[in-house]
Chains A and B, each alone.
Chain A
């Protein structure tokens, strides 16, 4: 039955299991007449209690443990953890050790962005259920995509020991640093990867995008003189400019009844983190050729269309390839793989740019270096309110669409975000009360 013909009635959209997102979730939208009454992104991801069981662990174990929050961006968890603990201990990991961290992180951006672009997001634009079926019609494209992704993974394996849950990251630096020759061995592959990334930018820029330009509050890091990956100040397009240590004074997490997740807000308002936010707040820090490329493919310095996040991801992938090549070229083997670390009672915060947006950690430890309190705010929890807001606007503007199509477009709206539901350390499931 086409219930759109009867606008007075209640219409619901339910997607029982969202596909092509990381982790498991569901969507529920209820429309009454011309009003969108309720939008919920349901998370069934069961609680895993990281913040609780980190208490009592030694600080040195933290980066290995927090990596397990998310298999898709473990490096982000390791970097935010290490930086928070180093801030507490008053350590500054600089020079080539910092450069190696950035290089490792570039590997994760390449791998994770490529996964999202080709495997999770692109099939929507081309009308396929997945990249494997897409590969039957366009084998070359998917083979090239796999090669690009593999290069990101190889970089992670070289610096981290393996691509999922790297074992080589520690508070103060690394367990072992690579020889220059080891790095140069992947140089050719990265040069090929750069070509594929460039092709990807041009290709995805030519997709059809629905017209949507919400007036987002963007939040990202702003790193001194470089496109933000590892660290920086937290900034917004509405004038926010704070050190990481002030995060909790401005951002709140709420656990409200009738909501299914902890929602982060910025002074009570929803905001957006991730590639679009990074791009809009740091366009000036992209190398000039990338800025021209962005113009050439129709992006410009401001891009507010969430569907075009696929183009921004592609640009960032290209950036990560180029940045990795630059870092490799400048690499000199450091004297020691890590700085000496002496535990003390202290608190520290750290934040880095996971592929999906800023990831905030804070730890408190005692004199022996045992953690007494941990707080982790992942990107998906920060975007959750904004995803629901986008869905609300999208549904309100497209009430005339037949239900199957509207449902599909809602799913696509969610996939714009690359929500990483398993990284949502403290999402929870909550049964809704339904109107009778």
Chain B
């Protein structure tokens, strides 16, 4: 629209696999429309053109794992009108949060011959532990359609329509027969937030929780079911310690096992 300020979009990366920001480039059908609706002001994976802030919408991928990153996120927050954390790394610390349950120095010695060169924090933490976030989009990786919904909601100043129910409802919607009930396959679907479209059960495997805990999950009841299916304690602990190991409901449940 002539004369109207085009909102600016910035994409930031912390410790991550790049998958969540890649999801934006994977929106092949909508990418050019998005690029027409916003000014891409900072998106290093995609563009060498960098505009100065402040930015209307910042999407933040990745978790905070170094002292330098803990400072960088503060500057980004100051420079952003809305800040949305995208993906399991940014909302729960990601897979790299497995260090939170171990001794980082021992980890460093396993990977590096000269551990004294490594600067890292004991914990991998979510963005919301450092700054105020306006919205958290779950998933490892985020779902493309949900990502587009969040972007357009913020551009239109409305609340994103992201349902908080469990993966089970998506299985029902998709017509997938419950793999846990029918085949005895251990599944985290009942405690995991929807958003993926219930992919795993449709491919004959249990959900492994990549979208993190749903609102108020009954993890205790689920564990009892898994025990009944013959899953041992350490395996139950591992199941809650993956891509959302740092999410409170999962870390609490994991601590009950093992």
Q: Which residues of A contact B (CB under 8 A)?
A: 17-24, 44-53, 55, 57-58, 61, 64-65, 68-72, 74, 115, 119, 123, 129-133, 135, 139, 142-143, 146-147, 149-150, 153, 161-165, 167-168, 170, 175-176, 254-255, 257, 262, 337, 411, 422-423, 425-426, 428-430
Known: A132-B47, A176-B204. A71 touches B141 (CB 8 A): yes
Cα distance, A323 to B208, chains bound together (Å): 32
Q: Are A153 and B110 in touch, CB under 8 angstroms?
A: no
Q: Is B75 an interface residue (CB 8 A)?
A: no
Q: Do A61 and B238 have beta carbons less than 8 Å apart? A: yes
Among the listed B40, B107, B208, which residue makes an inter-chain contact with A132, where contact means beta carbons less than 8 Å apart? B40
Q: Given A20-B46, A175-B204, A255-B112, are A48 and B28 also a contact pair (CB < 8 Å)?
A: no
The interface residues of chain B lying within 8 Å CB-to-CB of A149 are 26, 28
CA distance A65 to B69 in the complex (A): 24
Cβ contacts B130-156/A at 8 Å (1 or 0 each):
000000000011000000000000000
Docked CA distance A129–B96 (Å):
32
In the complex, the number of residue pairs spanning A and B with C-beta atoms less than 8 Å apart equals 186
Q: Chain A residues with Cβ under 8 A from B107's Cβ?
A: 49, 52-53
Question: From residue A185, how far is it (CB to closest CB) to chain B in Å?
Answer: 16
From B16-24, B167-175, B248-256, the one touching the partner chain is B16-24
Taking the nearest CB of chain B, how far is it from the CB of A129, in angstroms? 4
For residue A70, give the distance in angstroms from its CB to the closest CB of chain B.
Answer: 5
A71 touches B19 (CB 8 A): yes
A-chain residues with CB within 8 Å of residue B204 when the two chains form the complex: 175-176, 337
The CA of A17 and the CA of B49, in the complex, are separated in Å by 11
From B23, B119, B242, contact of A429 by CB (8 A): B119
Among A55, A57, A135, which residue has its beta carbon within 8 angstroms of that of B32?
A135
User: How close is B157's CB to chain A, nearest CB, in angstroms?
Assistant: 24
- Given the complex, which residues of A lie within 8 Å of B35, measured CB to CB? 132, 135
CA distance A132 to B48 in the complex (A): 11
> Chain B's nearest CB lies how many Å from the CB of A72?
6
- Between B17, B140, B200, B243, the greatest number of chain A beta carbons within 10 A of the residue's beta carbon is seen for B17
Given A64-B208, A254-B113, 17 more pairs with CB closer than 8 A: A19-B45, A19-B48, A20-B44, A23-B18, A44-B68, A47-B108, A49-B111, A51-B110, A51-B111, A64-B242, A71-B22, A130-B47, A131-B46, A132-B47, A162-B141, A165-B140, A175-B205
Rounded to whole angstroms, the CA-CA distance of A57 and B13 in the bound complex is 27
Are A72 and B112 in touch, CB under 8 angstroms? Answer: no
5 A-B pairs with least C-beta separation: A71-B19, A130-B47, A19-B48, A129-B49, A52-B107
Q: Verify B32–A68 contact, CB threshold 8 A.
A: no
What is the CB-to-nearest-CB distance from A392 to chain B, in angstroms, rounded to a whole number? 23
Q: Please tell me if B15 contacts chain A, counting CB pairs below 8 Å.
A: yes
Contact: B48 with A255, CB < 8 Å?
no
Interface size class of B (residues with CB under 8 A): 35 or more
Interface residue from B26, B44, B118 paired with A17 (Cβ < 8 Å):
B44
**A20-B46, A24-B13, A53-B107 as given contacts; A164 in contact with B112, CB under 8 Å:** no
> Does B106 interact with chain A (Cβ within 8 Å)?
yes
B118 to chain A, nearest CB (A): 6
In the bound complex, do residue A164 and residue B19 qualify as a contact, i.e. CB atoms below 8 Å apart? Answer: yes
Question: Measured between C-beta atoms, what is the minimum distance from B66 to chain A in Å?
Answer: 5
Q: CB of B120 within 8 A of chain A?
A: yes
CA distance A257 to B44 in the complex (A): 29
* CA–CA, A58 and B235, complex, Å: 8
**Which residues of B are interface residues toward A (Cβ below 8 A)?**
13-20, 22-23, 25-26, 28-29, 31-32, 35, 40, 43-50, 65-66, 68-69, 94-96, 98-99, 102, 104, 106-108, 110-114, 117-120, 140-141, 196, 199-200, 202-205, 208, 210, 235, 238, 242-243
* Interface contact A161-B18, CB-CB below 8 Å: no
A422 contacts B17, C-beta separation under 8 Å: yes
Give Cα A132 to B27, complex, Å. 13
Among B19, B26, B200, which residue has its beta carbon within 8 angstroms of that of A74? B19
C-alpha gap A337/B203 in the complex (Å):
11
In whole angstroms, how far apart are the Cα atoms of A165 and B235 in the complex? 22
Among A71, A132, A163, A430, contact of B17 (Cβ-Cβ < 8 Å): A71
Query: Known contacts A70-B18, A71-B141; is A129 also within 8 Å of B48 by CB?
Result: yes
State the CA gap A57–B242 with chains docked (Å): 10
CB distance from B257 to the nearest CB of A (A): 14
Interchain residue pairs with CB less than 8 A apart (16):
A17-B44, A24-B13, A48-B95, A52-B99, A52-B111, A53-B98, A55-B110, A58-B238, A70-B18, A119-B46, A130-B40, A142-B32, A146-B32, A163-B26, A167-B203, A337-B204
Residues of B within 8 A of A147 (CB): 28
Of all chain A residues, the one with the shortest Cβ separation from B104 is A49
Q: Which residue of A lies closest to B101 (CB)?
A: A53
Q: Are A426 and B47 in contact (CB under 8 A)?
A: no
Residues on A with beta carbons closer than 8 Å to the beta carbon of B45: 19-22
B119 touches A129 (CB 8 A): no
Residues from chain A with a CB closer than 8 A to the CB of B94 are 68
**What distance in Å separates the Cβ of A345 from its nearest Cβ neighbour in chain B?**
18
A132→B107 CA distance, assembly (Å): 41
Given A49-B107, A68-B95, A119-B25, also A143-B32 (CB < 8 A)? yes
Is the CB–CB distance between B242 and A65 below 8 Å? Answer: yes
Least CB distance, B176 to chain A, in whole angstroms? 11
Chain A residue nearest to B45 in the complex (CB): A22
